[in-house]
Amino acid sequence: MNSASYNLDDVDTVAEGAFMKVALQSCRTVADFQALLEATNEAGRSTTANFGVIDAHGGAAYFETGVHEFKRFDATDPAVAPQGWIVRTNYSEGGDARLGSGLIRFERARSLVGGLAAAGRLTAATLLAEVARRHRQRADRPVPRPARRRRVGVHRRQHQPRPHRLHGAVRRRQAG
């Protein structure tokens, strides 16, 4: 995952998607991702972003990535993540706290994740339902869920288009 970081370097971040594409095409492990960052430090990157990286070998880390440097936060290191998790938003702990936006979002997300962990409810589902939806709202006013949409003109059981409907517009059946 990646999120633009607005307090690392005083530059516009425009290429985190392109950098993520290169990483997905070439990295299999957290160590591979770190090697990619090391290889691009000198020439520089057109991005200031936080990258969350996991691998199939149990590796997990966040990288606060500036134009010419990065800082690794290893989620498997108890000294870095004593609770076993790390929270990042578009705010970077290694950046200038006076720059950019995101500190309030970071503090809110950290509070929500901490509450879920303390209650033994920290799961992928609760992260999506309770953290991603509430990080910009007050605690008692989560972002409303979108209404479920029915697929117009499709039978639920058969998943076949109804012959009397076309792209949501009702057509009259012709008498046979």
Residues 6+ apart with CB under 8 A from 132: none
User: pLDDT averaged over consecutive 10-residue blocks of the chain (176 residues)?
Assistant: 75 77 94 96 87 93 91 93 85 75 82 92 88 61 50 47 42 46
Model pLDDT, residue 79: 94
Alpha helices, DSSP H, located in 6-148: 16-26, 30-40, 103-118, 124-126
How far CA 161 is from CA of 38, 149, 151, 170, in Å, comes to 53, 16, 10, 12
d(CA 167, CA 169): 6
Residues 6+ apart with CB under 8 A from 35: none
Model pLDDT, residue 10: 66
pLDDT, tens digit (0-9, with 9 covering 90-100), for 68-97: 999 999 998 999 999 888 888 877 877 777
Closest CA to 85 of 110, 50, 56: 110
Say what the pTM is: 0.69
Strand blocks (E) in the chain: 2-4, 49-54, 60-65, 70-74, 165-166, 169-170
Model pLDDT, residue 33: 96
Residue 48 · residue 66 · CB < 8 Å: yes
